[in-house]
Structure formats: structure tokens, C-alpha cells
């Protein structure tokens, strides 16, 4: 009995469920064209937005390429600023930076919404990277044998509607890019050579051998006269002090001629300043002796002017008369005598 009740209930609901399902299918058949139209409009709107933004970025492709080149060329793998110390391989770094910039150019050359494969990247790398990326000095002659593939105005397997940059435009943009980034490469090479020159102050080996051979007699003279060694040692100390004081290494970083002019204008004031400092230090060592001598002379003068007990009994009138009569000679008395005379007079009063 219990199993028959659900079966009867389902039998009663079947007509209603069938009618509801048919009504739902009818509604969907009415709404489906509208849904398809809305989906198509949404798809077209998204495509237009993507194409608009892609064309805007394609107009800024040269700026993007230079920014990418600067980021890779002037920073290492840890995004730290690169210092050109002479150990870096500028050729390899330039190749990596320009390859990344060429990758941006190939990406912005066409719109790829349909996910169709193309050979834009292969054509650009085979036509441009073989000559320009590997050799940073050749910029105009880099596009040589394989430039025929960039002479057309369309890409293979790419519709003209989806083309953002034609092969001719890519070729022109790459020439402009290499011309504008050549200065950074030249500056890096110059900085590397300047760093090598600043760290290599020793003459070449053949010059060292020549100095040893030709200066043998002078070396023997120094051994026979040790006084010359003392003079050379003093000259060395003065030269070292001048070297540190004038920062000669820093002056020659900007070039030989500016360094020579700057050193020549600062040499005499620096020498005078150095001599003045030496004189002040020498006076500083002698200064403690002067107060000792002054205190010793002051003590002797006080011992010589010690008061006599007999003179203390002299009347005040005689002291005053003697002071009046000796006004001319009073200027010759020292300060301790005058202070003693004033103290005697006060005690008598």
C-alpha cells in the first residue's frame, strides 16, 4: 500500500511536468535568438576594445622597446643597477636587451584574437637579429641579405585587418631603435675602459724592464749615499699627502686634459696648506714648554720681591714720600712688585 501511493502521485504529476517542460522549451526557443544576439554583440564589443588598445600600444611601440632595452641593459638579473667594472660582456648584454625589444616589436605587429599561428617573430629575428643584435656597432648595415622578407606591406598568414605594423614599418622602427640605443652602448664601453685605466696605474712590463736596466747606476748611487734615501722618503711622504689631499685619481676620471688643468690650478694652494698644517703641528709640540717657562720666571720674581720684616715698620708718611719721589721709576717695576706694595699699604692701614 505504501509503495502504490508515490506511484499514483507521480502518475498525477506527469501531465503537469510535461506541459511545464514544453512551455520552458517554447520560452527558450523565443529567447535563444536574443541571447545569441547579445553574446555576439558582447563578443564584438570586446574585440573592438582589444583592437583599440592594441593599436594605441602599437603607436607607442618604440617607447616600449627603448624602456625594455634600458631595463635589461642597465640592470642585472636581480634588478640592481649595473656598474661597468670591466668584467661584464657588453656584447652579450646588448644582444639580450635587443632581443627582448625585438620580442615586443613582434608581439605588437599584429592582433592575434583567433589564436592562429604566424611567422612574424621568426621573420623579424631572422632578418634583424642576425646583424644588429650581435654586433652593437653596425646599425645601418645590419639589415642585409635577409631584408627582402621585410620589403612587403603584409605578413604571411595574417589578414590586413589584423595587421598593426607592416614589415616595412617594423624595419624602419628597428633602424630608429638601434640608432637611439647606440649611445647607451657607447657610454657603457667608455665607462668600462675608463674603469680599466683608473685601476691600472702600472706601466707595461717592457717599461718596467727598461727602467730596471737603465736605472742600475742610479740605484747603486742610492746604495752608496743613504742620505739620498732619506730625501726620497721625505719626498715620497709629501707626494703621498698631496695625492690624498688633491684626490688625483678622481680628477683623472673625467679625462687627462681636465685632470691636468684641475691639478695645476690646485697644486700651489694645496702645497701651501700642507706646509701651514705642518708648521701648526710643529708649534703645537712646542706650545706646552712656554707655560712652564713663564711659571718658572714668575716664581723667581716673586722670590726676589719677598717683603723684608724691617721695612714693614716704616711709617706710612715715609712710604708715601718715597712713592711720590719715585713716580718716574715706577713704570719699570713689574706687576708682582706693585701688587706687593699695595698689599703692604693695606696691612699698614
Walk along the chain (349 residues) and give the pLDDT tens digit of each residue: 455 556 666 667 777 777 777 777 777 777 778 878 888 999 899 989 999 999 999 999 999 999 999 999 999 888 899 988 888 899 999 999 999 999 999 999 999 888 788 889 899 998 887 544 433 333 444 444 444 678 888 888 888 888 999 999 999 999 999 999 999 999 999 988 888 877 776 777 888 888 888 888 888 887 888 788 888 888 888 888 888 877 777 777 777 787 788 888 888 888 888 788 878 887 875 544 444 444 444 454 445 444 444 333 344 444 333 433 444 444 334 344 444 444 444 444 4
C-alpha 118/C-alpha 164 separation (Å) is 14
- Single pTM value for the model: 0.52
Q: Which of 286, 301, 318 is the last residue of a domain?
A: 286
C-alpha 12/C-alpha 301 separation (Å) is 144
Distances (CA, A) of 278 to 241, 247, 271, 281, 285: 11, 19, 11, 5, 11
Residue 143 and residue 214 in one domain: no
Residue 221 and residue 175 in one domain: no
CA dihedral 73, 77, 82, 88 (to 10 degrees): -80
Residue 233 and residue 172 in one domain: no
Residue 259 and residue 274 in one domain: yes
Structurally, how many domains does the chain consist of? Answer: 2
Range of the domain at 221: 205-286
C-alpha 240/C-alpha 244 separation (Å) is 6
> Is residue 163 situated within a structural domain?
yes
Helices (H), the chain: 4-59, 61-73, 90-107, 120-124, 167-199, 205-214, 216-224, 226-246, 248-251, 256-286, 289-304, 316-325, 335-348
> Is residue 330 situated within a structural domain?
no
C-alpha 103/C-alpha 174 separation (Å) is 12
Nine cell digits for residue 54: 592594441
C-alpha 184/C-alpha 269 separation (Å) is 39
Q: Which of 165, 199, 233 is the last residue of a domain?
A: 199
Residue 177 and residue 218 in one domain: no
Amino acid at each position: 500500500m505504501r509503495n502504490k501511493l508515490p506511484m499514483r502521485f507521480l502518475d498525477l504529476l506527469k501531465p503537469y511536468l510535461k506541459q511545464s517542460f514544453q512551455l520552458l522549451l517554447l520560452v527558450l526557443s523565443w529567447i535563444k535568438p536574443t541571447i545569441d544576439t547579445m553574446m555576439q554583440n558582447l563578443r564584438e564589443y570586446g574585440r573592438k576594445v582589444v583592437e583599440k588598445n592594441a593599436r594605441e600600444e602599437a603607436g607607442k611601440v618604440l617607447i616600449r622597446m627603448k624602456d625594455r632595452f634600458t631595463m635589461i641593459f642597465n640592470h642585472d638579473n636581480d634588478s640592481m643597477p649595473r656598474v661597468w667594472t670591466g668584467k661584464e660582456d657588453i656584447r652579450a648584454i646588448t644582444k639580450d636587451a635587443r632581443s627582448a625589444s625585438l620580442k615586443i616589436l613582434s608581439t605588437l605587429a599584429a592582433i592575434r584574437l583567433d589564436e592562429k599561428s604566424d611567422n612574424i617573430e621568426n621573420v623579424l629575428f631572422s632578418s634583424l637579429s642576425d646583424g644588429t643584435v650581435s654586433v652593437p656597432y653596425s646599425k645601418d648595415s645590419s639589415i642585409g641579405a635577409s631584408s627582402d622578407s621585410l620589403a612587403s606591406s603584409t605578413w604571411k598568414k595574417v589578414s590586413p585587418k589584423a595587421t598593426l605594423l607592416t614589415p616595412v614599418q617594423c624595419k624602419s622602427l628597428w633602424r630608429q631603435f638601434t640608432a637611439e640605443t647606440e649611445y647607451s652602448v657607447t657610454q657603457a664601453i667608455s665607462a668600462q675602459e675608463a674603469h680599466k685605466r683608473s685601476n691600472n696605474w702600472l706601466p707595461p712590463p717592457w717599461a718596467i724592464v727598461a727602467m730596471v736596466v737603465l736605472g742600475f747606476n742610479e740605484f747603486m748611487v742610492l746604495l752608496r749615499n743613504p742620505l739620498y734615501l732619506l730625501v726620497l722618503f721625505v719626498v715620497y711622504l709629501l707626494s703621498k699627502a698631496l695625492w690624498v689631499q688633491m684626490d688625483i685619481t678622481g680628477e683623472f676620471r673625467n679625462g687627462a686634459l681636465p685632470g691636468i688643468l684641475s691639478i695645476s690650478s690646485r697644486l700651489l694652494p694645496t702645497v701651501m696648506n700642507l706646509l701651514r698644517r705642518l708648521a701648526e703641528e710643529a708649534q703645537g709640540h712646542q706650545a706646552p714648554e712656554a707655560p712652564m717657562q713663564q711659571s718658572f720666571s714668575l716664581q723667581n720674581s716673586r722670590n726676589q720681591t719677598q717683603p723684608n720684616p724691617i721695612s714693614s715698620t716704616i711709617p706710612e708718611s715715609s712710604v708715601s714720600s718715597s712713592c711720590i719721589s719715585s713716580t718716574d721709576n715706577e713704570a719699570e717695576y713689574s706687576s708682582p712688585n706693585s701688587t706687593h706694595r699695595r698689599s703692604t699699604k693695606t696691612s699698614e692701614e
